[in-house]
Amino acid sequence: MSSAAAWLGAVLRRAFARIDYFALYEARVVSQRADGSVDVWPFDARLPPMGGIPLRLGIPGAHVKLAPSCRVLVGFANGSPGEPFALLLDAGDVVSVSFGGLGGRPVARVGDPVESETIPPGAITFLSPTVQVTNTQPVTLRGPILLGSQKVKAA
């Protein structure tokens, strides 16, 4: 077989190579959309660039904001080419995580300091059998968080 025929055979095998839709393919994130889905550019030349790919995080209600140009794994649900999804590849690629919806509130941990809003004069009254005391100055309460969720942990 001539080298030209070998070259042509290699080109044709690559051009008509079957894609294993049960495999995972590494891809670069081009952008992340407001709904959390991603636009990706697969490293495998057999796969075209794909847009609006949902991120599967394995935690219902979780959303992540990804670092620009991070890497993900692209797979296909039940081997279906029409159902692509992306999986995170490196933990360092996550900029932020929220639970229960996009744009959630920050999480605090047991032991973290906490400060209340300023309580106006006259808003606090302590009663005892012999005396009644009402604050005459604004009060700000400070202290550590004592209790927290047993379901969510943060380092």
Identify which of 69, 60, 61 has the alpha carbon closest to the alpha carbon of residue 93.
69
Residue 4 within any structural domain of the chain: no
How many structural domains does the chain have?
Answer: 2
Report the pLDDT averaged over residues 84-103: 83
Banded model confidence at residue 16, pLDDT cuts 50, 70, 90: low
Report the chain's mean pLDDT, rounded to a whole number. 86
pLDDT in tens, 34-90: 999 999 999 999 899 999 999 999 888 888 899 989 999 999 999 999 999 999 988
3-class secondary structure, 52: strand
Shared domain check, 123 and 82: no
Is position 15 within any domain? yes
Residue 39 maps to which CATH number? Answer: 2.40.50
**What's the number of CA atoms in the CB half-sphere (13 Å) around residue 92?**
1
- Assigned domain for 154 exists: no
Segments forming the whole domain that contains residue 135: 113-144
